[in-house]
C-alpha cells in the first residue's frame, strides 16, 4: 500500500484579529493478495476560521469548511458499481460562534449554536437511491420514477470542533481533530462524529513513521449490514460506527 498526505496552512494574527486557513489532501492505494489495486484513502478538506478577540483567549469567530474527494469509490468487492466520486458527496459547513485558543496556540476549541450544513450529491443515480442522507426518488407501484431524488440536503444545527497540535516528545508530534454536529431539525439526539488523529515520529531528516486513525459516525448514512432474523442472516442497511487505522513509514518534508 502507499499513501500521499499533504497539509498546507496559512495563518494570520494581529493584536485583535485571527485568521486560520488549512488545506488537507490525501490519496492512497492498496493491493491485497490477488485482488486488483483499490483506493484506500481519498480526501479533500479546506478550513477557514476568522476571529475577532473578545477576551484574552476567546474570539468571536466564523468558520467555513468544505469536504469532498478526488476519485471514484466502488462497492468492493464489486468494482463496477460506483458509490461515490468528486462532489458526490461534498459537504459545505458555515458556522458562527466562539473560539478558544490556548496561550501556546496548541489547543483550539470552537463552539457554534448557529451552523448551516449543505450536502451535495452530484450524481442523479446516487441521489435517486437516497445516498448520503439526501431525499430519495419517488416511484409508483410499477417502478416508474415519479420524482428525481434531491441532489442537495440542507441541515441547521449546532457544531463543535476541537483541534490539538503539539510536539509531545522530542521528534514526536500529535495532531487530533474532533468534530461534532447535531441537526436541530431532524433527530437532534443523533450526533454526527468525525475524529481524526495523526501521530508522527521523526526518524531522521526525511524519514518518519506515522500512525493515523479516523472514527466516523453519521446516523443518516446507511451502511450494509446483516441482521439476524430467527437465526437467518438477512442483508440490509443501518447506521454504524466506521473506523480506520493506518501505520506507515515514509518520506516527510516540512517547510
| pLDDT of amino acid 232 | 86
Distance between CA 192 and CA 121 in Å, rounded?
Answer: 18
Percent of the chain residues topping a pLDDT of 90: 76
Distance between CA 232 and CA 230 in Å, rounded?
Answer: 6
What does pLDDT average to over the chain?
93
- Digit-coded pLDDT (tens) for 124-147: 999 999 989 899 999 999 999 999
- What contacts 24+ positions apart, CB below 8 Å, involve 23-27? 23/47, 27/3, 27/70, 27/71
Q: What is the pTM of this model?
A: 0.90
- Digit-coded pLDDT (tens) for 158-177: 999 999 999 999 999 999 99
- What contacts 24+ positions apart, CB below 8 Å, involve 101-108? 101/18, 101/57, 101/59, 102/57, 103/57, 104/166, 106/164, 106/165, 106/166, 107/162, 107/163, 107/164, 108/20, 108/161, 108/162, 108/163, 108/164
> What does 31-49 look like in DSSP terms, one character per residue?
--TTSPPEEEEEEEEEEEE
Distance between CA 60 and CA 51 in Å, rounded?
Answer: 5
Grid coordinates belonging to 41? 484513502
| pLDDT of amino acid 30 | 92
Q: In this structure, are residues 149 and 136 in contact, taking their beta carbons and an 8 Å threshold?
A: yes
Distance between CA 161 and CA 96 in Å, rounded?
Answer: 12
Residue keyed to cell 499513501: 3
Residue keyed to cell 469532498: 68
- Digit-coded pLDDT (tens) for 206-236: 899 999 999 999 988 878 788 888 888 888 8
Q: Which residues pair with 173 in a beta bridge?
A: 167, 200
Structure-derived torsion over alpha carbons of residues 62, 219, 38, 208, reported in degrees to the nearest 10: 50
| pLDDT of amino acid 221 | 81
Q: Which residues pair with 233 in a beta bridge?
A: 228
Residue keyed to cell 481524526: 196
| pLDDT of amino acid 122 | 96
Grid coordinates belonging to 223? 451502511
Distance between CA 208 and CA 171 in Å, rounded?
Answer: 9
Amino acid at each position: 500500500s502507499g499513501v500521499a498526505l499533504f497539509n498546507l496552512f496559512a495563518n494570520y494574527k494581529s493584536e485583535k484579529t485571527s485568521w486560520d486557513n488549512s488545506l488537507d489532501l490525501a490519496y492512497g492505494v492498496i493491493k491485497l493478495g490477488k485482488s486488483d489495486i483499490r483506493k484506500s484513502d481519498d480526501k479533500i478538506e479546506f478550513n477557514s476560521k476568522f476571529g475577532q478577540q473578545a477576551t484574552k483567549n476567546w474570539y468571536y469567530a466564523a468558520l467555513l469548511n468544505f469536504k469532498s474527494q478526488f476519485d471514484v469509490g466502488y462497492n468492493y468487492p464489486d468494482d463496477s458499481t460506483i458509490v461515490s466520486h468528486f462532489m458526490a458527496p461534498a459537504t459545505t459547513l458555515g458556522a458562527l460562534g466562539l473560539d478558544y485558543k490556548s496561550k501556546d496556540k496548541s489547543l483550539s476549541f470552537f463552539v457554534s449554536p448557529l451552523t448551516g450544513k449543505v450536502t451535495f450529491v452530484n450524481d442523479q443515480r446516487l441521489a435517486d437511491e437516497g445516498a448520503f442522507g439526501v431525499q430519495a426518488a419517488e416511484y409508483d407501484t410499477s417502478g416508474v420514477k415519479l420524482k428525481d431524488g434531491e441532489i442537495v440536503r440542507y441541515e441547521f444545527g449546532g457544531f463543535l470542533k476541537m483541534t490539538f497540535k503539539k510536539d509531545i516528545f522530542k521528534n514526536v508530534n500529535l495532531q487530533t481533530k474532533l468534530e461534532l454536529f447535531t441537526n436541530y431539525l431532524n433527530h437532534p439526539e443523533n450526533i454526527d462524529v468525525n475524529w481524526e488523529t495523526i501521530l508522527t515520529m521523526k526518524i531522521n531528516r526525511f524519514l518518519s513513521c506515522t500512525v493515523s486513525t479516523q472514527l466516523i459516525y453519521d446516523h443518516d448514512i446507511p451502511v450494509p449490514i446483516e441482521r439476524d432474523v430467527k437465526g437467518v442472516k438477512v442483508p440490509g442497511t443501518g447506521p454504524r460506527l466506521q473506523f480506520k487505522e493506518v501505520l506507515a513509514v515514509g518520506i516527510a518534508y516540512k517547510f
